[in-house]
Amino acid sequence: MTRICITPFVQGTGGMASFRLKFEQGLKARNIDVTHDLNDKSDAVLVIAGTRFLLDLKRIRQRGIRVVQRLDGINWVQRVKWSGVKYTVRAEYGNLMLATIRNHFADRVIYQSQFIRKWWEDWYGAAKAPATVIINGVDLDTYTPEGESDRPTDRYRMLLLEGSLARGLNSGLFHAVSVAEKLSSKYPMEVVVAGTVDEGTQRKLTSVLSVNSVVNLSVKFLGTVPRVDIPKLARSSHLMYCAEVNPPCPNSVIEALACGLPVIGFDSGSLKELVSDDAGCIVPYGANPWKLETPDVDTLAASAGEVLEKQSQFRAAARKRAESQFGLDQMVESYLKVLLDDGR
């Protein structure tokens, strides 16, 4: 039986853990065994995050086993917005680790989007190993418009679904609320935030709304949401706002589209690659996202209003986009070609 080693074993609710679970699901459906131990016998190794076991990777390559690195974006916010010594050191160490694997230990490199590929090549030069782009996939049977929903009829719900919006990552949260505040002059709005938000940020946001005397808008913080609840949460919303600035390839966006949830945001990162014009609205940022400058909230709010008024049209297009581009089977087959040269 063919066996793939996926390392490291990432758990939690973030993007890497989400990918690992989906990819393993696809492998097992093909009767391909999975291990997370580099010492186990395997036919190929997929490195999905940084690992300190570099000598093990070297020995694996010497035995003729292919090592493939899956690359996300580069940690960068700490270079623009101070987030404390611990966060900064961890972020820069992570960059160094990923760059070292890419340049010295990977036989193949997979980038999750064209944006990520250009980013790495601009900052660290072209990879020595052959590289390709494979966008993340989603289980279209789990993430679907069909199923339980409690979408409100007396207000419009904007969903933010992020692993963390704490510390230096909270800029997009304030942008989202600004967009909702603009929309609330015409539509009753509710912003639902799923993900980690520190108490200081929550207090600051509440204070801003109070000072501005916003009456047609509410904000709810759900904290970390179990993965099994995400499809219902997406179906129960009218819009998803991608709060990450320069998002590499957010699983949350792809999952939202699969559930028929239109996505709005600014043209930074990979959003234009993921969201077609009829599946939501992605507008020019209007400033420099790399400096975390304030984006053009007015333009996004105006475009988002059309999405609210044409829900059926945009929801159908969102699902169609996911079905045509982001199926899990399509992603798994693309990965296997890189890992095994399709020599199963």
Residue 200 lies in a domain: yes
Q: When comparing pLDDT for 81 and 114, which is higher?
A: 114
Residues 83 and 204 in one domain: no
Q: Is 147 contained in some domain?
A: no
What is the rounded CA–CA span in Å between residue 30 and residue 21?
Answer: 15
- Please indicate whether residue 94 or residue 171 has the higher confidence score (pLDDT): 94
Residue 145 falls within a domain, yes or no? no
Rounded Cα–Cα distance for residues 98 and 54 (Å): 11
Do residues 105 and 196 both lie within one domain? no
- What is the extent of the structural domain holding 311? 156-325
Q: How confident is the model at residue 211 (pLDDT cuts 50, 70, 90)?
A: low
E strand spans, 114-262: 131-133, 156-164, 189-196, 217-223, 239-241
State the pLDDT at residue 344: 41
142 belongs to a structural domain: no
Assess whether 200 and 112 both reside in one domain: no
- Residue-wise pLDDT tens digits, 147-169: 999 999 999 999 999 877 765 66
Q: Which residues of 98-110 are buried (b: 16+ CB within 10 A; e: fewer)?
A: bbebbeebbbbbb
Q: Do 244 and 332 belong together in one domain?
A: no
- The contacts found for 299-302 with CB under 8 angstroms, 24 or more apart, are 300/179, 300/264, 300/265, 300/266, 301/179, 301/182, 301/183
CATH number for 50 = 3.40.50.2000
Question: Are 222 and 171 in the same domain?
Answer: yes
d(CA 65, CA 43): 6
Check residue 52 and give its pLDDT: 87
Q: Are residues 167 and 116 in the same domain?
A: no
Indicate whether 290 and 331 sit together in one domain.
Answer: no
Q: pLDDT tens-digit profile of 274-313?
A: 998 899 999 999 999 999 999 999 999 999 999 999 999 9
> 144: which 2 tokens?
């679907």
Res 177: pLDDT? 92
Q: What is the mean pLDDT of residues 12-21?
A: 84
As a whole number, mean pLDDT of residues 94-119 equals: 96
- Confidence check: pLDDT of 6 > 60: yes
Task: Give dist(CA 176, CA 157) in Å, integer.
Answer: 12
Percent of the chain with pLDDT over 90: 82
- If one counts the domains in the chain, the total is 2
Note whether residue 321 is domain-resident: yes
Per-residue pLDDT, 136: 96
Is the confidence at residue 171, as pLDDT, over 90? no
Per-residue pLDDT averaged across 201-209, rounded?
81
- What's residue 166's pLDDT? 66
Looking at the fold, whether 92 and 191 belong to one and the same domain comes out as: no
The pLDDT tens digits for 33-88 are 999 999 999 999 999 988 989 999 999 999 999 999 999 999 999 999 887 899 89
Residue 332 maps to a domain: yes
73/78 Cα distance (integer angstroms): 14
The residues that bridge with 187 in the sheet, in sequence order, are: none
**Same domain for 262 and 283?**
yes
Does any domain span residue 100? yes
161 and 293 fall within a common domain: yes
Asked if residue 169 and residue 112 are part of one domain, the reply reads no
Do both 311 and 272 map to the same domain? Answer: yes
Q: What is the pLDDT of residue 60?
A: 96
* 11-28 mean pLDDT: 88
Is residue 50 assigned to a domain?
yes
Q: What is the pLDDT of residue 75?
A: 94
Per-residue pLDDT, 141: 96
